[in-house]
Amino acid sequence: MRLSVLLAATALTAACGGGGGDPGAPLGSTGVLRLALTDAPACGLETAFVTVERVRVHRSATAGEGDAGWEELVLPTPQRVDLLSLTNGTLMPLGERRLPTGTYTQLRLVLAPNTPANPLANAVKPIGGAEVPLTTPSGQQSGLKLNVNLEVPPERLADFALDFDACKSFVYAGNSGQILLKPVIAVIPILSDLGQRIEGYVAPGLVAAGARVSAQSAGVPARETPVRADGSFSLFPVPAGSYDLVITASGRVNAVITGVPVVNTAFTTLGSPTARIDTPTSAASHAVTGTVRVNNGTADTGGVVRATQSLTGGPAGVEVGSANANAVSGLYGLTLPAGAPVKLAYVAGATSFPFVADPANAGKYRLLATATGFATPVPADITLAGPLTQDFVFP
C-alpha cells in the first residue's frame, strides 16, 4: 500500500522557505507548527490521488500569493497520496516547522501540477472506471486556500490535521468525464494522541452494506469514516465534546447514538468484537434527484445538497447524506431509506445496543441546497413514498 511508504517518510520535517525558521531567534518568540493530512470517505470513487508539494501559512486572511510574510513547509519530495487510504484515524505527516509565534489565518495547500511527464499526479478513479486526471487549477498555482485559525504559542508544538473531505470535494462536469477538485477541508487541532478518538465495532451486515460512521455536533459532521473490513471503526482526531454518532448504510435505516463523549485523555469505545452495533433494515429506499440552478445562468453553481433527518426529542437535523451537483448540468442524486430512523443514548461500557424506532419521522427529510455566492441555504422538506424530484433555484 502506498500509505506505508508515505508514513515511512515521516522525516518531512522542517523544510525551507518563508524566513520564519531562524534557529537564532530569541527564546519565546517562536513555536513549532506541525501538520498532517487525513480524509473522510469518498462517494463513488475507488482512488483519489493528490500530489502535495508544500503548505503555506500567513497571518493575514487576505494576503496575496506574492505578498511578504508567507511561511512554508516544503516537502523534500512531492508526495502522491491516495486520500481514500487516510480513513479511520490514519494521518499522513506533512511536516513541521519552527515559526514566529502568533495566529495564522490563511493556509494554502499547494499541489504539484499534472504535466505531460506526470499526467496523473492528481487523479481519481471512479468505481468501475478508469483513472482520469483531476482538474485542479487553483492547486497548481497559488494553492488550495483555507481560512484558518492556527495559534502557534511560544516554545510549544501546535499540532493540526487537515481533514480533506473527499466525498464533498470532487465534482463531475457534464458527461465529459472531467472531474473537478473543489476542496472541502477542515482544520482540526490535535491536543493529545491519548484521546480525541471514538472507536467501535459494527455487525458484518453493516460492513457488507457499506456503513459509514460520523461524529456530529448540531448536525455538522466533525469526522466521518467508512468501517473497516472487520467491522471496526476509528474517528480521529475529534475535538473534545459531546457528539451524536450517526450510522448510515445502504438498505438500512439511519441510526443515531446520542451523547457520545470525547475527551483528550482517553479513547471512547462503543462495543467490542463480541458486542457489535447493528441497525434495522429499511423496507424501501428511494432516489431523490433534481438540479441546483442559479437564475443568472451560471453554469457551475458549486451546488451541494445535504439531506438531514430529525428525531423525536432530538437530535434535530443530523446529516445522513450529501451530494455535489454536476458542474455543467446541475444534476444531483441521493438515495435515502424510507424506514423509521432509530436512536439510543450512549452508555459507557455497553454490551448491547437496543435502538428504539421513531416511526413519526419515517422517510421524512430536510434537503438543504447551497450554491457559490449565496449565504443562506434553500431548504425543502420531503416525505419519501417513492422516487422524488426536487429542484433548487437560487435567485
Q: Is there a contact between 358 and 312 (Cβ–Cβ < 8 Å)? A: yes
The reply to whether 184 and 65 lie within a common domain is yes
Q: Which of 135, 164, 189 is the last residue of a domain?
A: 189
Rounded CA gap, 13 and 34, in Å?
8
Predicted pLDDT at 135? 83
Answer whether residue 213 is part of any domain. Answer: no
Answer whether residue 56 is part of any domain. Answer: yes
Rounded CA gap, 147 and 89, in Å?
23
SS3 call for 291: strand
Query: Is residue 264 packed enough to be buried (19+ CB in 10 Å), middle (13-18) or exposed (0-12)?
Result: middle
Query: Is residue 389 packed enough to be buried (19+ CB in 10 Å), middle (13-18) or exposed (0-12)?
Result: exposed
> What is the distance between the terminal CA atoms of the chain, rounded to a whole angstrom?
47
CA distances from 211 to 89, 158, 224, 231 (A): 16, 33, 11, 9
Q: Is there a contact between 75 and 94 (Cβ–Cβ < 8 Å)? A: yes
Predicted pLDDT at 30? 82
Closest CA to 307 of 242, 217, 202, 384: 384
Predicted pLDDT at 163? 87
Number of domains in the chain: 2
φ, ψ of residue 5 to 5 degrees: the values are -70, -40
Answer whether residue 319 is part of any domain. Answer: yes
Predicted pLDDT at 41? 64
Answer whether residue 19 is part of any domain. Answer: yes
Question: What range defines the domain where residue 54 resides?
Answer: 2-189
The set of cell numbers assigned to 99 is: 515559526
Q: pTM here?
A: 0.80
φ, ψ of residue 392 to 5 degrees: the values are -130, 130
Q: Which of 189, 224, 258 is the last residue of a domain?
A: 189
Q: Report cis status (omega within 30 of 0) of the bond before 315.
A: yes
Rounded CA gap, 237 and 86, in Å?
12
Residues of the chain with pLDDT under 70: 1-28, 40-42, 137-141, 176, 297-299
Q: Is there a contact between 105 and 71 (Cβ–Cβ < 8 Å)? A: no
Answer whether residue 306 is part of any domain. Answer: yes
The reply to whether 141 and 14 lie within a common domain is yes
Q: Which of 127, 161, 189 is the last residue of a domain?
A: 189
Predicted pLDDT at 212? 94
Q: Residue 299: which CATH number?
A: 2.60.40.10
CB atoms within 10 A of CB 367: 24
